[in-house]
Amino acid sequence: MHQSKYNSVFFVGIGGIGMSALARYFNARGIQVFGYDRVKSALTDELEQLGIQILFEDQLTQLIESLIPSDCLVVYTPAIPKNSIVLNYFITKQFRVIKRAEALGEITRSSKSIGVAGTHGKSTTSCMLAYLMRNSVVGCNAFLGAISTNFKTNFLVDEHSDFSVVEADEFDRSFLFLSPFAAIITTIDPDHLDIYGTAEKFKEGFRQFAMKIDPNGFLIVKEGISVGSLCKQKTYALESNSADYAAYNLKDTSHGCTFDFRTPKGVINNINIGINGLHNAENAVAALAVVSELGLDVASIASSFSGFQGIKRRFERIYQDEQLVYIDDYAHHPMELKRLIESVRAMYPSQHITGVFQPHLFSRTKDFADGFAEQLSMLDEVIILPIYPARELPIQGVDSAWLLSKIKSQVKSLVNPSELLDFLRIKQHGVLLTIGAGDIDRLVEPIKEMLEINRSQV
């Protein structure tokens, strides 16, 4: 596929973060790209600006019916409903129809790919690794699961580099299509139980992923995670005397988190990673461990880390004045909520914290309701939006009101998205969080504008 025999590619679900990166790849190679998605978004707008034609109705059109199976590859995301008219047309007309992960796997086999896997932290870690490698002599290509603030994109190309950084997504076992030279595993907290069935089968998916790493490569794995592999393994952690790579003397400053970094070859003092959060320090240690295992000059490359600006929707500070801070985050699993809230508490210990949470998927809400409730109860005020269904149909008895009833916070509300701005208009002090992986991101700019207007009227 690196030298594609197809003159065009049609993406079913082109607006997804991973799909849009692949669309950019094919477009950059001069292949005509088309796509369908359910809704317009900032990502689809950017793709259209590149000249990519996108349809927003799940129905047949003259464009779709003019495509030829021998000349057009079809790539789809598993998030697309199985009854999609567009997807089923391509299947019945015998186009080559493949998952996003299969396409990504074929593309990255032409390079030394470094897969970043884990229930949490893989987007930030992969962006950190790409940033560091782009500041090294080897460079890299990258297919990222989020928009890098530094690069303003989720796709990076370097025709002179042998390496590709790839976010290895466990959803639908997608990462098993990859054949990485090296990999990171950040966490294996059970998720996607609608796909895997049990926590043990979820962990087995990661064990299978680890076995696909090139025996001549390496695996960087968080200390405490046990997976077999044919390659060498190195561990990483915070404040550990036993991990191969560790950060200690951690401090959250106004200029980002700083720490001293211990490697098998020595210590590098006072690394600043440009963004806050102890969980981000942990992600940084994993990225730096890869740089070290590749034999690069870690000290020199680490000095560039202070310029790292993070990624969209990961502890992203949207607005700040003397009285109020507004942060947006993609967290959609109880452990991600725990990390987010703990980090915010550590940074703003005396502030009133309000969280607006949009649950993602009925099945995930059902499976982890008690975990969500426990973490959300750590907030001073909780606002719950209706569950974002994505690909799913409702589950009887599973809704946001049910989740809200489990939360112990004294101040809690169930609010529709259309009412949220009015509900938040009185917020003048403390910390405001918007949290979730659904379409809550569409409320970020309106909330920011409202806060700016409120501030101008003070």
More confidently predicted of 169 and 246: 246
In this predicted structure, what is the pLDDT of residue 343?
86
Q: pLDDT per residue over 20-32, tens digit each?
A: 999 999 999 899 9
- Please give the C-alpha separations between residue 163 and each of 29, 106, 114, 133, in angstroms, as whole numbers: 18, 14, 7, 9
Label residue 198 exposed, middle or buried (CB < 10 Å: 0-12, 13-18, 19+).
exposed
Predicted confidence (pLDDT) at residue 184 exceeds the cutoff of 70 = yes
d(CA 221, CA 413): 40
pLDDT band at 3 (very low <50, low <70, confident <90, very high): low
Joined together, the tokens standing for residue 168 give: 């290895």
**Cβ atoms 369, 353 nearer than 8 A:** no
pLDDT at 424: 93
Per-residue confidence band for 458, with pLDDT thresholds at 50, 70 and 90: low
pLDDT band at residue 233, thresholds of 50, 70 and 90? very high
- pLDDT recorded at residue 4: 64
CA–centroid distance for 58 within its chain? 26
Domains of the chain by range and CATH? 8-99 (3.40.50.720), 111-307 (3.40.1190.10), 316-456 (3.90.190.20)
Work out the pLDDT band at 278, boundaries 50, 70, 90: confident
Q: What is the pLDDT of residues 43-95, one digit of tens each?
A: 899 999 999 999 999 999 999 999 999 999 999 998 888 899 999 999 999 99
**Rounded-to-integer distance, Cα 220 and Cα 117, Å:** 10
